[in-house]
Homo-oligomer: A and B are copies of this chain.
Amino acid sequence: MKVIVIGATGTIGSAVVRAISDRHEVIPVSFSKAVIKVDIADPKSITKMFEITGRVDAVISAAGLAKFGPMTSLTDADFALCLDNKLMGQVNLVRLGADHINNNGSITLTSGILSRKPIAGSAAISLVNSGLEGFGRAAALEMPRNIRINIVSPNWVVDTLRAFNMDPSIGTPVEVVARAYVHALEGSMNGEVIDAVK
C-alpha cells in the first residue's frame, strides 16, 4: 500500500515508518524535516500535501502540538494551539483527506493515554485526546468507500519519559506503540480507539 506517514521524523512516526517500510510504499511527511512538509494546523497546507502525494491507500498521523502545564497557567492561546493543531489538524486530515484515499483505505490518527488517565497539567491535552477519540468513533460511521478510521492512543513512550526525566518503567517501548498503527493499517477495525500499551 501507498501510505503517508505524517510526523514521520518524530519519536512515534519514525518507529511507524521502520515498522511498515519493508512491505509498504511510505511517503514520509513532517512539519520541517521531511522532504514533503505539512502544517496540519493550516487546511491549505494539508490540501497542498495531498496535491503533491496524489492518491494514497492510507494516511497515518503521528503529529500534532498540544500544551502541557498547570491549568491556571494555560492561556487562551495555549488552548487555541491545542484545538487548532493536534485536534482540528488531525480532524482536517480526515475532512480534507477522504477524497484522496483509495477505496478500502484507512486513516489512523493519534490521541494518547492522557485522554483516560489524566495527570495534573494535562487539562488541555486530555481535552484534545478525548475529543479526537470521540470524533474518530463518530466519523467511522460516515467514511465513504469503505475507508476506515481509527485512533491510536499511545501510552507514554519510554524514550519520552527519559527525555522528561520521568520514570521510564511506566512507559511502553516505541516499537510496541508502532505495532498498534500496523494493526490499524493492515487490520479491519473501524472506529476503534486502540490502546497502545505494553
Give me 27 A-to-B residue pairs in the complex whose CB atoms sit less than 8 angstroms apart, sorted by A's number: A43-B76, A70-B142, A71-B95, A83-B83, A87-B127, A87-B131, A114-B134, A114-B138, A115-B134, A118-B137, A120-B142, A123-B142, A124-B135, A126-B134, A126-B137, A126-B138, A127-B131, A127-B132, A127-B134, A127-B135, A127-B138, A128-B134, A129-B134, A130-B130, A130-B137, A131-B131, A131-B134
Q: Assuming A131-B128, A137-B118, A142-B120, is B71 touching A79 (CB within 8 A)?
A: no
Query: How far does the alpha carbon of A95 sit from the alpha carbon of B74 in the complex, in Å?
Result: 9
B residues near A91, Cβ cutoff 8 Å:
79, 127
Q: Is A170 an interface residue (CB 8 A)?
A: no
Measured CB to CB, the closest approach of chain B to A119, in angstroms, equals 7
Measured CB to CB, the closest approach of chain B to A40, in angstroms, equals 14
A102-139, CB under 8 A of B: which get 1 and which 0?
00000000000011101111111111111111110111
Interface residues of A in 56-97 (CB under 8 A from B): 70-72, 74, 76, 79, 83, 87-88, 91, 95
> How many of these chains are in the complex?
2
B residues near A1, Cβ cutoff 8 Å:
none
